[in-house]
Each structure stands twice: as structure tokens, then as C-alpha cells.
Structure 1
Amino acid sequence: MATKVSRTVEWNGKEVPVYAMQTISFSALLSQEPAELEKLVRCCQNEGYFYLDLNNIDGRRFVDDYQETLKLMHHFFESPLEVKNEYGLITPHLGYEPIGSRNGVLENTRDGYEMVKVSRDEIQRDSPHIPRNIKNSTDLKILENAISGNNIMSKAILSGLSTGLGLSGARRFENLHRNDRPSTSTLAMMHYIPSDPVHDANVGHQKHTDISSLTVLFTEQWGLQIRPPGTKEFGFVEPKAGTAIINVGDSLRFASEHVFQSCIHRVVPFDYSEHRYSVAYFLRAEDDTMFVDSEGRNVTSRQWHDEKFAAFLASPMDQAKTPSSLLLGGMKEDESDVYAAANRKPVVVEEMKPAVKAH
């Protein structure tokens, strides 16, 4: 399948594609308009990503929620490191991960971002485990609104896909994501530090597919790159005001019996001097949902989550030993990363892994 390249931009000394993406109207999705549902299904079958247009009365509240979350993120990430480390990584889907916790986007680098995660299950507790510097009543309401809004958008997309495919009853995708069942669905707030791919040791976010069923991403800055099915190189996704970027993840790919495409993507520093911020909501299936993964194994949603998360945190040597189907969800690549930096010195990683606390 040919993927349209609308233009190119210069990055890292090369002309890099900017890939075009289809746009789905949230308002039309709520109305279950047949043409919009048909387009939605095609996006998930052919590419695994699309823009969700929220520039309407139904969607603007979610854009406002993102702006409030952005203010909260600045407050958290500008706190001293010892305050952020008080929270730590409680479980894989709840807590704080410092810079350098995972492999970077280029060979022999570590990642160039820090991240704080608040899970949907946690925010509903009477006394949720939240960092003390964002635990006042106003901040808790901001987090609750963001998680609730992203969940509503995600479920509307799942409902549209189920209807578009003619699914009914227990076979509908929403019934693998019931609101009252335990899951690892989480809101992740990410801060990427300024970095130069030529010489810095902490660079971007390694290529992968998401563990989730759907990822709802808000960002105002360049840096996200995707590799569409059938293409040979990564290209940028243009951020657009009033829209969310939606990625299909592994769990929905498995639930669709591998008809939908997981989106292979990564994050690179576009403007080497800027601090980049993004908010991602990872909608994940109920913990005990059974899937057949890309190796033909029967796995639960929680098992897939834990195995893939462990691979993310593994050292480069250990990560190289894991099946490629784990990090890329069984998606195939036509050739290796054409932007990999050569002759870099290995980065020592033994002391960079965050500890997961008992919870």
C-alpha cells in the first residue's frame, strides 16, 4: 500500500518525510455516521493511526483538559529530582520514571525523557497514590478529568470500530474494556529534554509499538515519527491544533485477529534546544482478557503488558535477545533504521533502571 508523503523536512542532516494522516471527526463518530465509520475502519486496517478532530462542541472540552494537564506537568517536572523520585515507579503503569530508564532512539543511547504515570484504576481510589507536589484537590480534578475524557474518546473509537465491522454483543471491542474491571489503562505525561543526536547520551524514545489497544496522544511540538506499513523509513507526524493523534496498539491488533495494524513509532529531538511535552492515554484491555499474540501464544492482556514493559526496561544486550515481535507487536519492517548513529560508545545502563515498588 502506498503511503502519501505530503512534504519533507530537514532533520539530522537528511530530508525526512512528513507522512499524511487521515482525519476522523469526533462529532461524526458520536453520531455513528456510516461514512465516518467506514473511514475509521480503513485507517485501522491500512495504517494503524489517524488524527481525531476535536474542533467541535463535543471535543473542545478534551482539548481544554489537555491544556490544564500541561500546566500540571510543568509544575511536576520543574520540581527538584529528589521530590520526583519520592514517588518512584510503583507499578509499571503507575509512578515516575527518570531520564535514562530505557533505551534511546539511536544505537548506544538511553532515552531522553522523564515520565509520570497515573492509572485509571488508581485515580478512582479514595486516597490515590499521587506525587505530593500535584496532590491538591485542583490537581486531582485535572487528572480525573483528563483520564475520564481520554477514556470517553477511546471508547467512542472502539464503539465505532465494532459497529463498522458489524460486531455485536460480547464480540464488540468495548466489551474487552469494561470500565469496572481492572486494567493497566494509564495517563502518561512525558517531558523530553533538549538533546543533540550527534553527541548526547540521552536521545528520544526508541522505536516500538504500544502495549495498549488505543493510544490517545496530545502534543503541540514536532518529534513523533512513524513508520507506516510497507514503508522503509521513519517520517514525522505534524502536530495539529485541536486534534489528538490516535495510534492502534498491540492489544487491539490481537483482538482484531491481526487485521488492524499496530503503529511503529518513535520520538526524536526535532528542535535540539527545546523541552518537549506530550500527554498519552493508553487504553488497555481488562487484565484477564485473552489474546493470541504474534507468536501464536495465548496470553492475557496483563501478561502481554508485563512482558513488553520488562523488555522496554532491559539493557540493550538483553533487549536484543527478546523476540522482535515483542517490541514491535509482530509488525514487519522492510529494512533497519536508516538514521542509526554509527560508532557511538556504549552507554552504561546498570544503574539507570527505576525500581518498581510493591503496591
Structure 2
Amino acid sequence: MNAIPTLRLQDARRSDGTLDPDFLERLRVAAHQIGFFHLTDYGAGPGQVQELVDVTARFFALPPEARIALDNRTSPHFRGYTRLGHEITAGRPDAREQLDFGPELPAVAAADWDTPYRLLQGPNQWPDELLPELRPTVQAWTDLLTVVGTELTHALAACLGLPEQHFDEAFGDQPHWFGKLIRYVGQETDGPAAQGVGPHADWGFLTLLLQDSVGGLQARPPREQEWIDVAPVEGALVVNVGEMLEVATHGYLVATVHRVLPCRPSDTRQSIGFFFSPRLEAKLHPVPLTPELAAHAPGVTQAAENPLLPTFGDNALKGWIRSHPEVAARHHPGLAAPARSFT
């Protein structure tokens, strides 16, 4: 049996438009006890998922030199193609290659930064000449998941006993989501220390992941010692809580540690991640919890190597620098030192 519960987003609201209490209770239990759930019936159009999957596969089938032309090391905004083994998680390289992208916005000149995290705003890199259909297909997907993410934030607020619009101000009209087209590659040289992605928690608000049928994603729920499989469910998104939501709820909702196992040699695995996050300058202040919920809110899980910061932009910048040290060292050497304080 799959230990990760499945929720249907179309069940979130009753016919009168109000949020359904049964859906809210199931959402609350999943986000509190496990931090992960599958989400189906979330509004994808006919053929939309398959079109996205297919164009992502065509991107990774481009010649290596075409992908390298989008090298993320040329982007001061951490956008573009990351070569196999050049993202770092838990201090070790991941066995994946990927294309990172975010809201398509002009860069902010360094002279105009009021804070270093402004460097995270900027243009994307797309293979428009070789694969012109990639950009509009991905943009249609991120438009859809922005709607899905917004609806989930409303439901999460309501399941905590808050007005459903409680988190709206933090997101405003310009949330700082980002996305990844990812391919994991198994190699003959992989040893026992190989990782698809090492153990980590996501530093945004919510993660919405479309995974293929290969499997390999695992989570370690709070207060548990064993890893559990987040087995693929056809057509479903995997949703998990991020660190900013853990901060906002005193740890009642938990950013569960998860990992991706390496593929077998010569095998591949494909996934598409969407990380729904608030405005860069947003501060997620702790929410008022009812006494019943507060009794089960243990506080925020803090690690010396990964302090959780209340301003989303600071938390995001810390995460990008840790994950992509080559980009940081090339474009932002003053921010690359791991001991830098973001206050």
C-alpha cells in the first residue's frame, strides 16, 4: 500500500464555493503527519501533461553542445542548464542534469540592489531556435501550477483555522516560484555513495512535482527513522511542505526530509519540479494556532549548517549558493562563503 495519501483538488470546494471540511481535514493530517501527499484532478487540460513530458524528453535529447549553450554558469541569476553532477545536495554532487527557470523578469542592476537576494530576479535561458515549443509549453504549465499552488495555500490556511486568504499578502501578484526540468542518469561509475539527490528539505513554501513511472523518490516523515517510497501515481502531482511553511506554522506543518535514489547504470528518470514560493521580500510571521494545534507544534527544525531564515529571499539565496557554488563563485564571490550571515 502506498503510505502517501492521495487528495483530489476538485474535492477542495463544495458546490457553493466554500472549502470542504473533509478535504481540509485530510489535507491537515497529510501535511502535519507526513509532509507529503499526491494530488490528482488539479485542472490539467487534455494532453497537457503528456505534452510537457514529451517536450522535456526532447530537451534532454538535444545534442550536449546545445544544452551547454544554456549553461547556468553564465547566468548570475542561477538560471539555465546544469550539467550532470554539478548541483550539490547534502554536500555531494547529484546524479542529475536539469534546466532551471523562474518568472521571466528583467534583471535588477547590482547598483539598485537594496539587498543581495535581488540577484535572483532575471531572465531565463531557453533553446528557442532548436526547440521553440519548450518555452510556451513550460509557461502554460507554470501558469496552471500557480493557480494550483494558490488554491492549496488557501486550503492550508483554512485547515489551520485561519482565513483562507491568510497567506495571500506574502505572495501578492508576483510570487517567486521557480521550476526545474530534471533528468537523472545512472552511470557505471556510481558507487555506494552515489545519490540521485541527497537528503534535504525544500526551502520554499510548497513543492509540486510531476514524476515519471520509474520511482526512486523517498521521504522520511517526522519522528520516523525509516525512509518510505513516494511511489508514482499516474497523473498525480507529488506535493510537499517547504521550510517557509514550517517556519510559519511553528513546525506544525513540517518540511519533510526527502531524497532521490540513483538510477541503475544506463537508466534514466525524468521529473518536473515547481517550487511555489512567496515574494522575495515576504516575511512569513508565525501564524496563530488554536490550542489544540499548538500542542502538536514542536517548533522549527534547525540545523547548524542550514539555519531557517524568516525572509524568503534570504532563505532562497542561501539555498542557491549552497546548491550551485560554481555560479556563486563566478558571479557573486562575496556571497559564496558558507559562513556568511544573511540578516
TM-score, normalised via structure 2 length: 0.75
Deviation at 1:104, TM superposition (A): 6.2
Alignment of 1:184-199 (within 5 A): 184-195=176-187, 199=191
2:198 is aligned with 1:211: no
* Pairwise CA RMSD: 3.0
Q: Counterpart in 2 of 1:233?
A: 226
- The 8 Å contact of residues 69 and 143 in structure 1, kept in 2 or not, is answered as yes
Distance 1:203-1:294 versus aligned 2 partners, 3 A rule? closer
Distance 2:245 2:233 in 1: 25
- The 8 Å contact of residues 211 and 308 in structure 1, kept in 2 or not, is answered as yes
Letter in 2 for 1:303: D
Distance 2:266 2:40 in 1: 30
Q: Counterpart in 1 of 2:310?
A: 299
Deviation at 1:268, TM superposition (A): 0.8
What are the Cα deviations for residues 173-208 of structure 1, in whole angstroms up to 9, with x where unaligned?
Answer: 233122x23x43112110111236863886411110
Which secondary structure does the structure 1 equivalent of 2:208 belong to? strand
Letter in 2 for 1:110: P
2:77 is aligned with 1:82: no
Distance 1:290-1:308 versus aligned 2 partners, 3 A rule? same
Deviation at 1:301, TM superposition (A): 0.4
Deviation at 1:149, TM superposition (A): 1.0
2:23 is aligned with 1:36: yes
Distance 1:99-1:151 versus aligned 2 partners, 3 A rule? same
Q: Counterpart in 2 of 1:13?
A: none
Alignment of 1:1-359 (within 5 A): 6=1, 20-31=3-14, 32-54=19-41, 59-61=43-45, 64-89=47-72, 90-91=75-76, 94-103=79-88, 110-122=93-105, 129-133=124-128, 138-168=133-163, 172-178=166-172, 180-181=173-174, 183-195=175-187, 199=191, 203-220=195-212, 221-291=214-284, 299-313=310-324, 353-354=326-327
Deviation at 1:67, TM superposition (A): 1.9
Distance 1:303 1:294 in 2: 17
- The 8 Å contact of residues 253 and 259 in structure 1, kept in 2 or not, is answered as yes
Distance 1:74 1:260 in 2: 34
Distance 1:203 1:175 in 2: 38
Equivalent pairs, count: 292
Which secondary structure does the structure 2 equivalent of 1:216 belong to? strand
Distance 2:241 2:275 in 1: 10
- The 8 Å contact of residues 110 and 201 in structure 1, kept in 2 or not, is answered as no
Which secondary structure does the structure 2 equivalent of 1:87 belong to? coil
Deviation at 1:60, TM superposition (A): 4.2
Which secondary structure does the structure 2 equivalent of 1:239 belong to? coil
- The 8 Å contact of residues 214 and 252 in structure 1, kept in 2 or not, is answered as yes
- The 8 Å contact of residues 170 and 283 in structure 2, kept in 1 or not, is answered as no
- The 8 Å contact of residues 217 and 281 in structure 1, kept in 2 or not, is answered as yes
Letter in 2 for 1:206: G
Distance 2:179 2:308 in 1: 28
Distance 1:282-1:91 versus aligned 2 partners, 3 A rule? farther
- The 8 Å contact of residues 244 and 310 in structure 2, kept in 1 or not, is answered as no
Which secondary structure does the structure 1 equivalent of 2:191 belong to? coil
The answer for unaligned runs of 5 or more in structure 1 is 1-5, 7-18, 315-352
Deviation at 1:257, TM superposition (A): 2.8
Which secondary structure does the structure 1 equivalent of 2:23 belong to? helix
Distance 1:69-1:134 versus aligned 2 partners, 3 A rule? farther
Which secondary structure does the structure 2 equivalent of 1:150 belong to? helix
Distance 2:145 2:4 in 1: 20
Deviation at 1:95, TM superposition (A): 1.6
- The 8 Å contact of residues 197 and 261 in structure 2, kept in 1 or not, is answered as yes
- The 8 Å contact of residues 222 and 270 in structure 1, kept in 2 or not, is answered as no
Distance 1:231-1:211 versus aligned 2 partners, 3 A rule? same
Which secondary structure does the structure 1 equivalent of 2:57 belong to? helix
Distance 2:180 2:129 in 1: 14
Letter in 1 for 2:28: V
Distance 1:51-1:39 versus aligned 2 partners, 3 A rule? same
Letter in 1 for 2:246: R
Same amino acid, percent of matched pairs? 21
- The 8 Å contact of residues 196 and 203 in structure 1, kept in 2 or not, is answered as no
Deviation at 1:294, TM superposition (A): 5.2
